[in-house]
Amino acid sequence: MAILPLFTSPALAVEYPETAREQVVDKYQSAGGKTLEVADPYRWLEADVRESERVAEWVAQQQAVTDAYLRSLPSRGEWVERLTKLWNFQRRGAPQRLGRPGASPLRYTYAQNDGLQNQSVLYLTDRFNGDGRVLIDPNQWSEDGTVALAGYSPSNDGRLLAYQRSEAGSDWRVIRVLEVDSGKELEDELRWVKFGGVQWTPDGAGFYYSRYPEPEAGEAYQASALNRKLCFHKLGDPQSKDVVVFENPDHPDWSAGAWLTEDGRWLLVSESKGTDHQNRLYARRADAPLGDGPLGDDPSSGWTALVEDFDNAFDPFASVGDKLFLLTDQDAPQRRVAAFDLSKAGEADFREALVEVVPEREATLEGASLIGGEVFASYLEDVASVVRRYSPDGGLLGEVKLPGVGSAMGFGGWQDAKETFYTYTSYAAPPTTYRYDIDAQVSEKLFEPNVGVDFSKYTVRREFYTSKDGARIPIFLTHRKDLPLDGKNPTLLYGYGGFTISMTPGYSPSRMAWVEQGGVLAVANLRGGGEYGEPWHEAGKLRNKQNVFDDFIAAAQWLIDEKITSPKHLGIQGGSNGGLLVGAVMTQRPELFGACLPAVGVMDMMRFHTFTAGQFWRDEFGSSDDPEMAEYLLGYSPYHNVRPGVAYPPTLVTTADTDDRVVPMHSFKFAAALQHAQQTSDAANGAAGDAPLLIRIESRAGHGAGTPTAKLIEQAADLWAFLWATIGPRDDS
């Protein structure tokens, strides 16, 4: 793709569909007894597009306007062509041993996409570095590629595979069971599953899983996720016969997930009340049945509470006999590895009886596994992966040498295996899979994709800048080496900043297309994420949320001060919590940005907790039901802070009509408010300009996971064409 020419066309006039405004006012109690009266004129846009003809018509009208604008942009066709070429490369995930060593023939599964397949295909092979046969091909499940394989779990003997299907990007999953050798599907089908996996019993007779009650008609994609139950499914039984193993009816908004020790000796339940990692922990023996089933005549009894508060995180990852290994932030904000003797459950105080195995370090401990008699501990050091090896008693054995400053993911496997697999990637390094030989302590490259890019022409550098309150924030920059830093470069600043999610380096064909055209990619590691452990997260949640917005604004100012870009050439992007981020900063500092791309964002901070998974986010945001938080949330809620007469930057809001994680009403209402504000003058601000304020609504797509390749390419082409038209190089630069 040749370098795109200067974009000199004037902004196209946009005539927006009329969006009805209704007289809806809510009252919230704030601290000190103050009553907040909050208008919500677009409440009617909260209705499910699948249930409301009125909302469906609005969606069709908005999409028609957006399609007409995007298809008029002269660069869009070139973006489609180049993105298609960049996406068209074979990619293969790390192998996974099918069945534990000694319990089944030597076989592995791996996911592979030949390039432009809408969904990756699951293969089976008898060699970790060999080609295999197709085991599951999700591309056969739907014509439009919107039904995805959302996860799978093999039985311990490798004979069976429990896999999850997701349709149109929904969080809802359907669990099916496959016979590996014959390819035959069993009759077992489990529905109303989300946010969890499967834990097989060692004999393969059944598995533990979590489910929700069947929703009322028309409420499946809108209602809050409540009353989650941990169940046991015996193969061959209908779901109606599944027994409830654990539930907490006194707290329907809490949720529980199971973890079964590899030998099946102990079953543990982790109970949480939101998205924070703090959890309760319960244990019971699972290997001495008293009746028909693995847990006896009364499967919901016999639990011993190990932790009965939500003060810390306790995440089990391995066991040897009764010795349980877990990650915890108790007395260790950056987390450590500790052990507990489960034979003393109910006798010894759990917290006091913890034995430290791997002490806390300055770096954040992201995960751990026990393989081949060694503990593999994965750390983040200034947002780059470092993997250290320890003995089970905590002695440092060494470090896994990684290819560079990037992200390494994997290091899983059976405890008695002699190998483990991982994938390494960075902004200018496509995902490459490796096998690590534990005895030899060496990595072997298994698969490196050929993406057709000469990475020697690009630079990736990690810098640090100072936020408003003096906090030191990392930022990664990727651009062509020959790019002059003259303050005129089209720059895309990306951020997230929440839920302890770290923005680690990784290759993206769509971002590569942007960078090779002369664009700069900047990814800021904002507070609220997990880059520096729980203190970093705490500094960006609840009443500290403004820190996240200040960090992002400071990143924008740093890019300008460093002569990398200027406000009219600076675009910002974020999705989900990052969509909230973009919505908040563009309403706080609209003059600082040349274009805004908020994706599937949480835009209505007063009502987010009343829909689907939103009630879990109260740990992160608080809620308007709390007088101590109501006024604070209103102060930054993007939807409520759109002001008439303000000249907002060109904006392309993106969402999906079937997103049941962050329901699309957030984006619908925010886009409607932006369009209304532009068409309305006020005494203080006057006219608001004619920048395009559009919403792109994907059909049969959810929050992002499982989106078909074809849709990813079309969306990226729309985004980059929009950015090139708004912040790209110009004659007057």
Q: Which residues are catalytic?
A: 576, 703
Please enumerate in sequence order all residues whose Cβ is within 8 A of that of 393, keeping only pairs 6 or more positions apart, or say none.
357
User: Which residues pair with residue 40 across a beta bridge?
Assistant: none
Query: What is the crossing angle of helices 509-516 and 709-727, to 10°?
Result: 30
Instruction: Name the residue among 2, 716, 104 with its Cα closest to residue 417.
Output: 104
Strand arrangement, sheet containing 199-200 = 199-200, 206-211, 229-234, 243-246
Distance CA 338, CA 599 (A): 39
Strand arrangement, sheet containing 384-390 = 364-371, 374-381, 384-390, 396-400
Label each residue of 367-398 as H, E or C.
EEEEECCEEEEEEEECCEEEEEEECCCCCEEE
Instruction: Name the residue among 351, 248, 349 with its Cα closest to residue 300.
Output: 248
The helix/strand/coil state of 683 is coil
The helix/strand/coil state of 37 is strand
The helix/strand/coil state of 445 is strand
Cβ contact 69:13 at 8 Å: no
Q: In 618-630, which positions are buried (b, 16+ CB within 10 angstroms) versus exposed (e)?
A: bbbbbbbebeebb
Residue 351 main-chain phi, psi, to 5 deg: -65, -45
Distance CA 196, CA 176 (A): 14
State the DSSP code for 568. G
Place of tokens 């244990």: 283
| DSSP element (H, E) containing 154 | strand 147-154
